[in-house]
Amino acid sequence: MLIQLYDRGSPQGKKLFADLEKLCQQLQVDNAPEYFQDMHRPYSMGIAGKSILMINNQVVLVDKFPSTKELEETLKDYLRDDY
């Protein structure tokens, strides 16, 4: 599973990434999440936002910062889809 967070370094984005890292370890996700401050890729795809979460090259969240529980459920949904 490919998890990418594009964020300009906001406190909320940093917390979201820390939550992603922790959940990926707990859920034994094969690949560690990636954090990018360069917003070129999402912007070139026509996606505008300050914080953009992509999983398997699909936009999941734009400028939203879910609770850890909500984020866990989102990751579990994508893990089920991988199998």
Please give the Cα distance from 9 to 2 (Å, whole number). 20
CATH code of residue 19: 3.40.30.10
pTM, rounded to two decimals = 0.92
For residues 76 and 24, the answer to whether their CB atoms sit within 8 Å is no
Quick: pLDDT tens for 7-64. Answer: 999 999 999 999 999 999 999 998 999 999 999 999 999 999 999 999 999 999 999 9
- Which contacts (CB < 8 Å, 24+ apart) does range 17-22 have? 19/68, 19/71, 20/53, 20/71, 20/75, 22/68
Domain residues for 58? 3-82
The count of structural domains within the chain is 1
